[in-house]
Amino acid sequence: MTEGMIYLDNAATTFPKAEEVYKAMDMANRNLAVNAGRGSYQLAREANKLIDDTKELLLRLVNAPNQARVVFTPSVTIALNEILNGIRFEKNDVVYVSPYEHNAVARTLRLIKKKRNIKIIEMPLNPDTLEIDIEKLKYQFSKDRPTCVCSTHVSNVTGYILPVQDIFQLAKDYNAITVMDAAQSTGCIDINASTLEADFVAFAGHKTLYGPFGIAGFIDVNQIELDEYIVGGTGSDSLNLDMPEFSPNKYETASSNIVAIAGLKVALEGFQSHMATDIEKKLTEYTIGKLKNITGIQLYLPKNLELHVSIVSFNIEGYKSEDVGMILDQDYGIAVRTGYHCAAYIHKHLKDEEFLGTIRIGIGKFNTIDEIDKLVSAISEIAMG
């Protein structure tokens, strides 16, 4: 890490990682960086076992049912593209999205709409609480029956924990396919894939799992068949020009990133989600309490802070968000994220256009009270002019 820098952009990617993660990746790069499953020699078998063991750790982490499979991809954006482009949408099919969706979902569906003329409907939001209005959603579903329902688990803009189980249970009354973006939640808050009613759970290794870039994917919970979206070499049955029929092989192509998988495996082995959550929750509550005492600060939070974790978005009267981010970086050595955070829908509800989005604090388990105090002091000085 840059010496003296306070890193508070953990919603984009958690940083730093545990030392064990760096060591595991170095070891794999030096001793195990071969094509898994593409050779009969021992090293290839060891690489393949590493992949299988890592997948098993993920399945256990989310309490996945027996039929579930892990599909690895290079990023969660690619995972969501594989899922959504693999669903056999037809003209006038209805897809619901939460107002908190990341552009990995929103832009993908927008492109599918252009190609297949599907209908996209935003779930209703209570303007007073910034929370999903479940009663209104029930009515919407009865009026426009859902084919597919997409919901992020935790907003990357406000830290709001969406009521995904309630949403998906309603969706299943209409036999809709359910897709959860868990990029901001996997490992941070409990996920029970056995009872969640999510057909697909997408995850990112480099965020709340505290693993490296280059490894992500989705839990194929119920093995609903998807059309292939990315095809190519799998290392097996090479004379067959069709992809394998079954998950996960049907959706995994190209050489596996064994170095990144090695880092993710070690992150998962040492993972104690309740410990990370406790640290992050305490720091988040502390940050909010301090910021509420500063004149001229506007916070963007759900009304019920029990439905909130790790992310604090705010603005300062009289400043554009990007200007505050630049001042924090150049004058105080504090790294935060500013702007619209790749989340197109939510900002009309936040009414933050005059600020050009929000200033986002992303809190991680390696942050400290002292760092938050320095952040709050800097924000106070900026707000005072």
**Residues 18, 270: contact at Cβ < 8 Å?**
yes
Angle at 179 between CA 174 and CA 185, to 5 degrees: 135
71 lies in the same domain as 189: yes
Assess whether 229 and 215 both reside in one domain: yes
**Calpha distance 41→62 (Å, rounded):** 33
Residues 262 and 336 in one domain: no
227 and 350 inside one domain: no
Domain annotation covers residue 1: no
Q: Is the dihedral of CA 368, 374, 378, 380 positive or negative?
A: positive
Q: Please tell me whether residues 12 and 29 are part of one structural domain.
A: no
Please count the structural domains in the chain: 2
Any idea what the CATH number is for the domain that residue 316 is in?
3.90.1150.10
Q: Does residue 34 belong to any structural domain of this protein? A: yes
Please list the pLDDT of the chain residue by residue as tens digits (385 residues): 566 899 999 999 999 999 999 999 999 999 999 988 777 899 999 999 999 999 999 999 999 999 999 999 999 999 999 999 999 999 999 999 999 999 999 999 999 999 999 999 999 999 999 999 999 999 999 999 999 999 999 999 999 999 999 999 999 999 999 999 999 999 989 999 999 999 999 999 999 999 999 999 999 999 999 999 999 988 878 888 888 888 999 999 999 999 999 999 999 998 755 555 788 889 999 999 999 999 999 999 999 999 999 999 999 999 999 999 999 999 999 999 999 999 999 999 999 999 999 999 999 999 999 999 999 999 999 999 7
Domain boundary among 211, 243, 269: 269
Is 302 within the bounds of a domain? yes
Residue 123's SS3 state is: coil
Q: Mark whether 167 and 236 lie in a shared domain.
A: yes
Range of the domain at 339: 6-17+272-384
Q: Rounded to an integer, what distance in angstroms lies between the CA atom of residue 142 and that of residue 194?
A: 26
Residue 138 CB neighbours (<10 A): 14
Claim to verify: residue 52 and residue 156 sit in the same structural domain: yes
Verify that 64 and 172 share a domain, yes or no: yes
